[in-house]
C-alpha cells in the first residue's frame, strides 16, 4: 500500500447514449442542444400513458462482440461492454497493455437485466417452467455487465457492481477512485449502464407518475428547472471511463482529460422515492466532496446537475446547491434535458460531459428552458452552450432510496 493516496486521472471516455455514441458525437450533440428523445418504438406503447423515451436505435452489438457471444447477454451488458471498448480506445489502451491483475472494473446499474427477466417470465407463463432459459439469472443479475467485461478483456483485478438506483455510476466512479488511490489497482474501467425501456419498467414509472407525458412533443419533454416540467424521460445507454494513476498515465504519455480530486456520498434517510425537501442529503454529498479535496465553494466553476425535470427533485437540488454555494452558485446545467434519464448510467454520462466541458472550456446547456421557476433560481445555462473558464467542476447523482454521490474534478491544466 502506498504511504499516501495516489492521484487519479481520467484518460478515456466511452459513451453509448441516445444523442450519440463515441466521445465526439456525444459532445457535439450536447453543444448543439440536440434532444435524444422521441416516440417509443421498442414495443407498442399505445396502452401506456407515456409513449416517449430516449432510445438508442442505431446500436449494433455485433460491432463490438461476435454475434454468438453477444446473444448470451442482456442489452444492459452489451451496452456496458461497448462503452468499455470505446473508453479503452479513447484512452489509447489495448486490453493487453496493462497488467491484467492491476485493472479494476466497477460498473453500476440501477435495474440490470429487466428485459431478459420479462422475456423469460412470459415464456414460463405461456409454456411452463421447463421453457425458462438456464441463463436467465446469469443474464439479469446486475453484476453481469462487469463480469462480461472482465471475461472479454481479460482483466483479473477487483471486479464489482454498484446498485444505488440513479446514483449507481456515481458510486462506481467513487469506488474505482478508492481502488486506485489506495493501491489496489493502477487502472480502472468505471461507469454505468442501463437498458430498462421495457413494458414492465415503463408501466411502473407510469403508475408512479414519475415520467413526462409530453407525448405530442417528445423533444421538449425533458425540461429541468423549467416551471412547466412534468417528470423525467426514461432513457437507455452506458458510459464507461478509464481511470488510472497520474504516474501510469504520465509514463505512457497518455492524454489526460481531468483529475478526480474528491467525492462525497450521503443518504437522505427520508423516503424511498421522493428527495429530501430541503436537499439535506444532496448538500451533504457536495460538501463532503469539497472537504475531501480541501476546496472552497467559490473555487467551483460549474455544476452538472442531477436535474431530472421532476417537480420535487429540481427544487430539492436547487436548495442543496444554495445551501453549499450561497447566493452566488456557479452555472448549473442539466444535460438530462438532452439525453433523458439514463438511470444507473446517468452519473458516469454526466461526469463525462463535465470532463469535456473542462477540456474545451464550454458549458453544455439546459435545453427546453422557457419559463423560469422562482424555486429553481439558478443560472442553468439556458438553451445554448456558453464559453466559460472551467477549471474545477462538480457532477451530482441522486437516486431512489435517497442515495447521493457528488464527484469533484479539475482540468489537467490546473
Per-residue pLDDT of 317-353, as tens digits, reads 999 999 999 999 999 999 999 999 999 999 999 999 9
Establish whether 166 is a catalytic residue.
Answer: yes
Look at residue 92 in the predicted model and tell me its pLDDT: 97
Quote the DSSP letter at residue 255: P
Average pLDDT, integer, range 209-218: 97
> Can you read off the three cell numbers belonging to residue 67?
454475434
Does 10 have pLDDT greater than 60? Answer: yes
Asked if residues 259 and 7 have their Cβ atoms less than 8 Å apart, the reply is: yes
Q: Does the structure show a pLDDT above 50 at 295?
A: yes
Domain 262-410 has CATH 3.40.47.10: yes
Cell of 401: 432510496
Please identify which of the residues 73, 171, 276, 341 carries the catalytic annotation: 341
Residue boundaries of the structural domains of the chain: 9-251, 262-410
User: DSSP per residue over 291-302, as a string?
Assistant: HHTT--GGG--E
% of the chain at pLDDT higher than 90: 98
d(CA 258, CA 261): 9
DSSP secondary structure of 127-183: H-GGGS-TTHHHHHSTTHHHHHHHHHHT--S-EEEE--GGGHHHHHHHHHHHHHHTT
Band of the pLDDT at 169, cuts 50, 70, 90? very high
Confidence of residue 3 (pLDDT cuts 50, 70, 90): low
Task: Let me know if 206 is a catalytic residue.
Answer: no
Could you read off the pLDDT of 14-54 as tens digits, one per residue? Answer: 999 999 999 999 999 999 999 999 999 999 999 999 999 99
Does domain 9-251 correspond to CATH entry 3.40.47.10?
yes
* Alpha carbon separation from 371 to 225, 312, 333 (Å, rounded): 9, 17, 15
Look up residue 124 and give its three cell numbers. 414460463
Indicate the helix (H) or strand (E) that contains 103: strand 103-108
Cell 445555462, residue?
381
Indicate whether 173 pLDDT > 60.
yes
Contact 173, 104 (CB under 8 A): no
Kindly report the average pLDDT of the chain as a whole number: 97
**3-state class (DSSP) for residue 331:** coil
Topology match between the domains 9-251 and 262-410: yes
pLDDT of residue 2: 46
Share of the chain above pLDDT 70, in %: 99
The cell for 200 is 414492465
Whether 397 contacts 166, CB under 8 Å = yes
CA distances from 166 to 169, 186, 398 (A): 8, 27, 6
**Containing H/E element for 209?**
none
| Known active-site residue 412 | no
Give residue 4's pLDDT band: very low, low, confident or very high (50, 70, 90). Answer: confident
What are the residues facing 273 on neighbouring strands? none
pLDDT over threshold 60, residue 152: yes
Give how far Cα 292 sits from Cα of 106, 248, 264, 286, Å: 21, 23, 8, 10
Using pLDDT thresholds of 50, 70 and 90, give the confidence band for residue 1: very low
Catalytic residue among 73, 171, 276, 306: 306
Please report where in the chains the cell 438532452 appears, as a residue: 338
SS3 62: helix
Residue 74 and residue 144 in contact, taking contact as beta carbons nearer than 8 Å: yes
Choose the catalytic residue: 73, 161, 166, 403: 166
Is the pLDDT score of 413 beyond 70? no
Q: What span, in angstroms and rounded, lies between the C-alpha atoms of 163 and 111?
A: 8
Question: Is a pLDDT exceeding 90 seen at residue 412?
Answer: no
Mean pLDDT of the region 145-168: 98
Amino acid at each position: 500500500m502506498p504511504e499516501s493516496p495516489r492521484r487519479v486521472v481520467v484518460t478515456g471516455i466511452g459513451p453509448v447514449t441516445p444523442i450519440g455514441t463515441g466521445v465526439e458525437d456525444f459532445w457535439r450533440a450536447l453543444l448543439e442542444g440536440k434532444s435524444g428523445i422521441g416516440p417509443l418504438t421498442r414495443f407498442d406503447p399505445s396502452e401506456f400513458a407515456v409513449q416517449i423515451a430516449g432510445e438508442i436505435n442505431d446500436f449494433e452489438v455485433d460491432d463490438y462482440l461476435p454475434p454468438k457471444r453477444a446473444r448470451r447477454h442482456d442489452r444492459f451488458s452489451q451496452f456496458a461492454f461497448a462503452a468499455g471498448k470505446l473508453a479503452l480506445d479513447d484512452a489509447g489502451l489495448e486490453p493487453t497493455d496493462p497488467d491484467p491483475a492491476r485493472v479494476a472494473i466497477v460498473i453500476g446499474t440501477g435495474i440490470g437485466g429487466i428485459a431478459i427477466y420479462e422475456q423469460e417470465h412470459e415464456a414460463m407463463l405461456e409454456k411452463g417452467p421447463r421453457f425458462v432459459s438456464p441463463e436467465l439469472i446469469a443474464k439479469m443479475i446486475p453484476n453481469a455487465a462487469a463480469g462480461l467485461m472482465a471475461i472479454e478483456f481479460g482483466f483479473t483485478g477487483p471486479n464489482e457492481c454498484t446498485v444505488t438506483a440513479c446514483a449507481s455510476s456515481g458510486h462506481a466512479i467513487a469506488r474505482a477512485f478508492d481502488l486506485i488511490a489506495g493501491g489496489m489497482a493502477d487502472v480502472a474501467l468505471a461507469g454505468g449502464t442501463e437498458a430498462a425501456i421495457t413494458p414492465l419498467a415503463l408501466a411502473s414509472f407510469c403508475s408512479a407518475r414519475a415520467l413526462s407525458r409530453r407525448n405530442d412533443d417528445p423533444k421538449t419533454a425533458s425540461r429541468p428547472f423549467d416551471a412547466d416540467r412534468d417528470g423525467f424521460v426514461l432513457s437507455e445507454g452506458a458510459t464507461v471511463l478509464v481511470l488510472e494513476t497520474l504516474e501510469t498515465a504520465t509514463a505512457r504519455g497518455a492524454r489526460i482529460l481531468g483529475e478526480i480530486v474528491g467525492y462525497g456520498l450521503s443518504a437522505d434517510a427520508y423516503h424511498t422515492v421522493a428527495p429530501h425537501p430541503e436537499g439535506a442529503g444532496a448538500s451533504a454529498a457536495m460538501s463532503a466532496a469539497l472537504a475531501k479535496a480541501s476546496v472552497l465553494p467559490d473555487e467551483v466553476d460549474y455544476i452538472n446537475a442531477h436535474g431530472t425535470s421532476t417537480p420535487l427533485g429540481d427544487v430539492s437540488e436547487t436548495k442543496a446547491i444554495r445551501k453549499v454555494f450561497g447566493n452566488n452558485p456557479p452555472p448549473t446545467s442539466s444535460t438530462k434535458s438532452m439525453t433523458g434519464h439514463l438511470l444507473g448510467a446517468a452519473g458516469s454520462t454526466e461526469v463525462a460531459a463535465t470532463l469535456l466541458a473542462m477540456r474545451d472550456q464550454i458549458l453544455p446547456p439546459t435545453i427546453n428552458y422557457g419559463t423560469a421557476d422562482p424555486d429553481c433560481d439558478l443560472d442553468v445555462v439556458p438553451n445554448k452552450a456558453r464559453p466559460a473558464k472551467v477549471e474545477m467542476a462538480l457532477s451530482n447523482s441522486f437516486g431512489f432510496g435517497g442515495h447521493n454521490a457528488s464527484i469533484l474534478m479539475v482540468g489537467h491544466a490546473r
